[in-house]
Structure 1
């Protein structure tokens, strides 16, 4: 039900251990968890597999074949529960895991202990700068054709919400009218005290300056993972947000639908059909991404934030 995690021709590296073996929390001490950057128990335990797994779009995999007997899953696809399920077609060694089961992002995960990266013979490609990214305006629309909120938006807002709660310091946060209120409003109402806003949230980033905001929602570079930094002297706290979501919020573009027309419709005039997509339900941030992100922020050890974490764990 979810699309590929990665865009074609791209890859990402998971810096944390992944896969088997896994240990339940009953076998993991608090000091050991904090050494791994985990400050609250989330899920059923932690992976103690190899770090550095590389994830690709399924269509970018080459020279691999599925391994019979390792193709189990929970529902209608593969979830990798039996370990690597793709083998090298030349040597037969298990080298990757194909994932495409229901509720899981479609991906191929290369086992870090079975593959190695080699330099490309092509030209050296440097990451785009912020000016280039802004000019291209590559973004993901928030609503899918059937009226569902896009899962990338649910995940991105779930991660940003964890950082936003930390930046709030437990005080009420004021949101601008519009989509930001749709995305964060209900969650902040549920977790923060009622009353007049003490801090105000605004979009920040390339081409945007909001000196009156206490908290800035800024983009994360889609190629490097670096969070955009405001100019020196800016006192506002920074909350990272996925760039393709930030682009849609900060640089909205009204597209003229590609529908043939006759007559003299002036250039740039928008048609009223098809109507803009509308969601069929209110927005909910991805609770698993929210809890996983919050568990890895040291501030979760503060009593007021730990109370929110425990409450969200029990009633996501």
Structure 2
């Protein structure tokens, strides 16, 4: 259902009509040293279930038990004790707000929200949201859930079924001009990699050749044991989901772990048949590219190609460096998985946390 968010104090409208979608994997990502585009697509909003904003407390002042009660199971630099459930919207979808000058702090080129809500309702002056647009951060306005209310603005928005999403096949390309890996892929793969590590139980994971090896294989080889196959049989990894065959064959036995898509509206993961494999969720647009994109190299042909024949025009993008899942996103996701309390996975978490890059 489409909704408009209004000030809880005076009822003035603060946003356009928006439709809820899943929380993007890159929500807490820091990337590069330049200004980034908006986190949310126009006309959409997402809810961040975790607390955000000040006050913040350092890990040493919290304690493992209190952190675990808040859903964090391994050390992090600090935790927010602000309100949970911020509503994330694109800056261009806000209406009727003004900046609070004394809270417009930032690190470099914009606002980073360190001083708390920096947007006020233009009608009554109540602090209602935090605008974030500094370099390295995805631009977003975080509406304070204690300062706004949602009002229905339209009829029910139908949730697309998996068959519809399969037909649509909205995919995010892994490489962006002029040849860098997409930060969205680096974040989405990092989130899935954390769940994949937990699902492995500390065993080796065998990854099919191709883009899966490029994006997951190197990290898995580095983080998990590499014992000889004669001693340890690697757990097979594969893609599974709507539109893909589900039966194992003699040449492709049933995998132990499958990467499945997350619904782009609800965030729920597609579920394989019960008892077949352990499912690891992956952002739908990244999963769709992995599942359906044909990345085979085309063979040059002389003369003019008939209509309908694929051609390399424009030439395909090729990355200028190896793919690396976002380390900060990987650490953040691992710290929020109960499985990280297992000694072997905690060791991986701590080893990643001790690296400068």
Scaled by the length of structure 1, the TM-score of the pair is 0.92
Structure 2 counterpart of 1:84:
117
Aligned counterparts, 1:162-173, within 5 A? 162-173=194-205
Q: CA deviation at 1:157?
A: 0.5
Alpha-carbon contact 1:203-1:210 (below 8 Å) kept: no
Structure 2 counterpart of 1:237:
278
306-315 or 184-193, larger mean C-alpha shift: 184-193
60-69 or 11-20, larger mean C-alpha shift: 60-69
Gaps of 5+ in 2: 1-34, 249-253, 296-302
Alpha-carbon contact 1:70-1:83 (below 8 Å) kept: yes
Q: CA deviation at 1:222?
A: 0.9
Structure 2 counterpart of 1:220:
262
Counterpart pick for 1:126 among 152, 155, 158: 158
> Is 1:16 aligned to residue 50 of structure 2?
yes
| Deviation string, structure 1 residues 239-296 (Cα, Å, up to 9, x no partner) | 1101110011112168xxxxxxxx9752222232321011111001011111111111
C-alpha distance in 1, partners of 2:43/2:294? 26
Gaps of 5+ in 1: 255-262
Aligned counterparts, 1:291-306, within 5 A? 291-306=331-346
Counterpart pick for 2:136 among 75, 97, 103: 103
C-alpha distance in 2, partners of 1:26/1:83? 23
> Is 1:205 aligned to residue 252 of structure 2?
no
Structure 2 counterpart of 1:192:
224
Structure 2 counterpart of 1:248:
289
Structure 2 counterpart of 1:74:
107
C-alpha distance in 2, partners of 1:133/1:50? 34
C-alpha distance in 2, partners of 1:274/1:182? 23
Q: CA deviation at 1:52?
A: 1.3
Question: Secondary structure at the residue paired with 1:75?
Answer: coil
Alpha-carbon contact 1:2-1:151 (below 8 Å) kept: no
> Is 1:63 aligned to residue 105 of structure 2?
no
Alpha-carbon contact 1:300-1:309 (below 8 Å) kept: yes
Structure 1 counterpart of 2:7:
none
Q: CA deviation at 1:210?
A: 5.3
How many aligned residue pairs are there?
305
Aligned counterparts, 1:148-167, within 5 A? 148-167=180-199
Counterpart pick for 1:52 among 53, 73, 85: 85
Q: CA deviation at 1:90?
A: 1.2
Change in CA separation of 1:253 and 1:78 when aligned onto 2, cut-off 3 Å: farther
> Is 1:285 aligned to residue 325 of structure 2?
yes
Alpha-carbon contact 2:54-2:114 (below 8 Å) kept: no
Stretches of 4+ aligned residues off by more than 6 angstroms: none
> Is 1:183 aligned to residue 215 of structure 2?
yes
Structure with greater contact order relative to length (CA < 8 Å, sep ≥ 6): 2
Question: Secondary structure at the residue paired with 1:293?
Answer: helix
Q: CA deviation at 1:82?
A: 1.7
Counterpart pick for 1:113 among 134, 143, 146: 146
Question: Secondary structure at the residue paired with 1:116?
Answer: strand
